[in-house]
Amino acid sequence: MTGRLNSAQPYAIGLFRIVVGLLFACHGANSLFGTFGGETVEAGTWPGWFAAVIELVGGSLVLLGLGTRAAAFIASGAMAYAYFKVHQPQALWPIENSGEGAAMYCWAMFLLIFTGSGAFGVDRLFAKRSEAQGRTAADKTPVAA
């Protein structure tokens, strides 16, 4: 059973990345454009507007699996900042200060920094392409006798 689960790991990580990226991007779209019945933040305000831009752009990149590790690194940092600057001063525990979302997004994005995009990501297509080009270049290199 462990072998089957291990073989499915890239697909599970890919689906995890897609769901987390979609939810994160929706949160940013909600704050920036008022989609899904949300209230918009005023352009250029600190930290709300900048957080919303990071959420929308970072979530979209994570969703697509494009620059996943870098986007997840920035998104994780933004959520850590959000938790410690906005939520934690109100109370110590996330359940008390309504910081569960920030904490979960922080740790979910942190995980993606180390796992990468998994299956179904654009990163994986670029990796396969560059790997294939590297092989063809190596095949054409003459061998000295």
Model pLDDT for residues 100-120, shown as the tens digit of each residue: 999 999 999 999 999 999 898
> At 43, is the pLDDT very low, low, confident or very high (cuts 50, 70, 90)?
confident
Those residues whose C-beta lies under 8 Å from the C-beta of residue 40, and which sit 6 or more positions away, are 31, 32, 33, 34
**Taking the complete model, does pTM exceed 0.85, yes or no?**
no
Give the tokens for residue 27.
């949160």
Mean pLDDT of 70-79: 97
Residue ranges of alpha helices (H) inside 1-145 are 2-7, 9-33, 48-64, 68-82, 94-97, 100-115, 122-140
- Residue 2 near residue 35 (C-beta atoms within 8 A): no
What local confidence, expressed as pLDDT, does residue 132 receive? 74
Give the tokens for residue 4.
């089957």
